[in-house]
């Protein structure tokens, strides 16, 4: 329903701009068709000027900063901390703490007595960019065992399926972001602890 109303309103604006441009052109003895087309082109550029810069910035940051890294594997951590993994008990109800607001925040999920999952979200950065980061942290050493970084683009922070009227800027993650997130999920679940 919204898209139909949006398309209808956009069409009315375009027709009014075309009519105004052709009227001015006629009054000045110029070509009304050329002026109308030039006005529509200018209107189009005003609306979508940020499309290509947003795509290029997204691609750049996905290639430069996005990824999934394991700094300490589960086997390596078990060797460094003998018999500790067997004592870890998963916290019930996934207790967590949020610092920040609904757009820029850091959520800390207390997995067990030794590990936290830290989820960071920040934006809106230059050219409609949002950064998503997850880390598995050993609370005893404050060491990061694994990290996942991804980027998305949208005009606004996506909420309930809405990410702004510039829907063409909406990209939920980097090209391999979903696969990397699944890999990170499998990695951190090795450290969650026993369910009791």
Reported as a single tens digit per residue, the pLDDT across 6-62 is 667 777 877 887 888 788 888 888 888 888 888 888 888 777 888 889 899 999 999
**5 and 56 assigned to the same domain:** no
Whether the CB-CB separation of 110 and 116 falls below 8 Å is answered with: yes
Q: Which domain holds residue 10?
A: 1-49
Whether residue 194 is contained in a domain is answered as no
**85 and 37 assigned to the same domain:** no
**83 and 173 assigned to the same domain:** yes
Whether residue 96 is contained in a domain is answered as yes
**40 and 93 assigned to the same domain:** no
**9 and 73 assigned to the same domain:** no
**72 and 33 assigned to the same domain:** no
- Segment 113-131 mean pLDDT: 93
How many domains does the chain contain in total? Answer: 2
**6 and 28 assigned to the same domain:** yes
User: Is the pLDDT confidence value at 126 over 70?
Assistant: yes
Whether the CB-CB separation of 117 and 191 falls below 8 Å is answered with: no
**94 and 35 assigned to the same domain:** no
**36 and 68 assigned to the same domain:** no
**Coil, strand or helix: which one is 82?**
coil
Which residues fall within 8 angstroms of residue 53, CB to CB, at 6 or more apart?
Answer: 127
**45 and 58 assigned to the same domain:** no
Q: How far is CA 150 from CA 4, 58, 59, 118, 125, in A?
A: 33, 10, 11, 14, 13
pLDDT, residue 28, reads 87
**10 and 92 assigned to the same domain:** no
**9 and 100 assigned to the same domain:** no
pTM of the entire structure? 0.78
Whether the CB-CB separation of 188 and 110 falls below 8 Å is answered with: no
d(CA 62, CA 37): 37
In this predicted model, which residue has the larger pLDDT, 148 or 160?
148
Give the pair of three-digit tokens for residue 99.
């610092």
Whether residue 177 is contained in a domain is answered as yes
């Amino acid at each position: 329903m919204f898209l139909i109303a949006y398309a209808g309103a956009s069409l009315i604006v375009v027709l009014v701009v075309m009519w105004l441009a052709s009227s001015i052109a006629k009054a000045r003895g110029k070509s009304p068709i050329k002026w109308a087309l030039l006005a529509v082109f200018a209107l189009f550029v005003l609306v979508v000027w940020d499309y290509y810069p947003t795509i290029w910035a997204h691609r750049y940051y996905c290639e430069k900063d996005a990824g999934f890294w394991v700094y300490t594997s589960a086997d390596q951590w078990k060797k460094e901390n003998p018999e500790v993994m067997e004592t870890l008990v998963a916290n019930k109800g996934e207790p967590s703490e949020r610092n920040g607001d609904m757009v820029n925040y850091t959520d800390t999920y207390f997995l067990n007595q030794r590990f936290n999952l830290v989820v960071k979200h920040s934006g809106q950065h230059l050219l409609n960019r949002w950064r998503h980061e997850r880390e598995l942290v050993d609370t005893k050493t404050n060491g990061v065992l694994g990290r996942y970084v991804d980027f998305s683009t949208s005009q606004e922070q996506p909420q309930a399926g809405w990410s702004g009227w510039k829907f063409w800027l909406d990209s939920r993650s980097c090209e391999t972001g979903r696969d990397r997130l699944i890999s990170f999920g499998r990695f951190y679940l090795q450290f969650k602890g026993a369910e009791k």
